[in-house]
Amino acid sequence: PQLVSPAWLVQQGAGDILMPAQAPPGTSAAVLVNAGAPPGPQDGYLLGILSFGYIGPERQLFLHTVLAGDQDFALSRADQLAVNGMTVRLQAMPAQGYRALILHPGSLPERPLTTSVLAQGYTRAELLDMIRSLAPPSLAALRAQAALFVEQQPHDAAWQALLGALADPPQP
């Protein structure tokens, strides 16, 4: 496994992977982990090998998007909810933990996508708020969370300047 910059996902146009629009409450660090081959600048990403992790004091949240049937776990006795057009199966675990499976809206029937969520230390309301914010990686989400992501290279002044240059222009 290796750390990957979330900016790489935006470059790749990774529209089938979901990430929160903003970091979940209490997040002090975030990671994007590639469990497969190291991506090169010319390489695309492979679905199912990337996982987002959000970590804070007494809180952890992990998201992993795969083709349906390849998810990390199955749920029994889960609540089924509709959240922003997504079908969510949510199961409470001991010590304020949750597992969730999210079926992506608009997934092609021959290629349905599922995002697995493992959360510890979050309330049900906090977790549902995070699920409501899920979307493909975007510049706005990257800017909102950039300082939290642990990357192989430290964030230098040039990186900060680039991030500022990507900001939306002021509205009249």
pLDDT single digits (tens) 90-142: 999 988 899 999 987 666 666 678 889 999 999 999 999 999 999 888 888 88
Q: Rounded CA gap, 166 and 169, in Å? A: 9
Sign of CA pseudo-dihedral 64, 65, 70, 71: positive
Q: Is the pLDDT of residue 37 over 60?
A: no
Q: Nearest-5° angle of CA 58, CA 66, CA 140?
A: 65
The answer to whether 120 and 97 are in contact (CB under 8 A) is yes
Residue 129: phi and psi, rounded to 5, are -60, -45
State the total domains in the chain: 1
Residue 148: phi and psi, rounded to 5, are -85, -25
170 domain residue, yes or no: no
Q: How many CA atoms lie within 13 A of 36 on its CB side?
A: 11
73 domain residue, yes or no: yes
Q: Is the pLDDT of residue 43 over 80?
A: no
* Average pLDDT estimate for 17-44: 78
Per-residue model confidence as pLDDT tens digits over 59-99: 999 999 887 766 666 777 889 999 988 889 999 998 889 99
Confidence of residue 41 (pLDDT cuts 50, 70, 90): very low
Range of the domain at 80: 2-163
What pLDDT is recorded for position 30?
94
- Tokens read off for 21: 């629009």
172 domain residue, yes or no: no
Give the global pTM.
Answer: 0.80
Q: Nearest-5° angle of CA 76, CA 78, CA 84?
A: 140
